[in-house]
Amino acid sequence: MSECLFCRIINKQVPARVAHEDERVLAFEDITPQAPVHILVIPKKHLSTVLDIGPDDHALIGHMLQTAGNIARERGIADRGFRLVMNTNPEAGQTVYHIHLHILGGRPLHWPPG
Ligand code: AMP
Ligand code: ZN
């Protein structure tokens, strides 16, 4: 989807600070970090929301989660604690309609979120 911001980041048409890339996923620094560590993990396959995840996507979603764990370890927040968030649709605050897993950590994170 050429008009999708995150597809444009995958295609290197928009710059990003890449934390990890492989054939299925890309991870990059959030442009407006909400915590000392704030990285987004996205699939290279365009899926607008979690509601579009189908049976063929299970391995991909698992790979996104494992990648997030690997990045948390690399950034030194695995044992301290971190949060994985996937906002879905307007009331949850989704602004980019290409699924992305937020990795947030490096400070105490309050619960429940706002
Ligand atoms: P959400 O509100 O859950 O859809 O999250 C979208 C996230 O994308 C926000 O945290 C934004 O700060 C982030 N974002 C938007 N544009 C960019 C960009 N060009 N590079 C990196 N992160 C971005
Ligand atoms: Zn996209």
User: Could you report the per-residue pLDDT of 29-66, keeping only the tens digit for each?
Assistant: 999 999 999 999 999 999 999 999 999 999 999 999 99
Using most ligand atoms within 8 A of CB, pick from 11, 30, 98 the residue to mutate for ligand 1: 30
Q: Output the domain CATH number for residue 99.
A: 3.30.428.10
23: in domain: yes
- In the sheet that 101-105 helps form, which strands lie side by side, from edge to edge? 18-21, 25-29, 37-43, 101-105, 82-85
Using most ligand atoms within 8 A of CB, pick from 47, 95, 102 the residue to mutate for ligand 1: 95
Number of domains the chain is built from: 1
113: in domain: no
Q: Are the C-beta atoms of residues 68 and 41 closer than 8 Å to each other? A: yes
For 9, 54, 59, 95, 100, the CA distances from 38, given in Å and listed in that order, are 17, 27, 24, 16, 12
Give 61-108 pLDDT, tens digit per residue. 999 999 999 999 999 999 999 999 999 999 999 999 999 999 999 999
Tell me whether residue 102 is one of the annotated catalytic residues: no
Residue 95 alpha carbon, nearest atom of ligand 1:
4
Domain span at residue 56 reads 5-105
In sequence order, what are the beta bridge partners of 82?
105
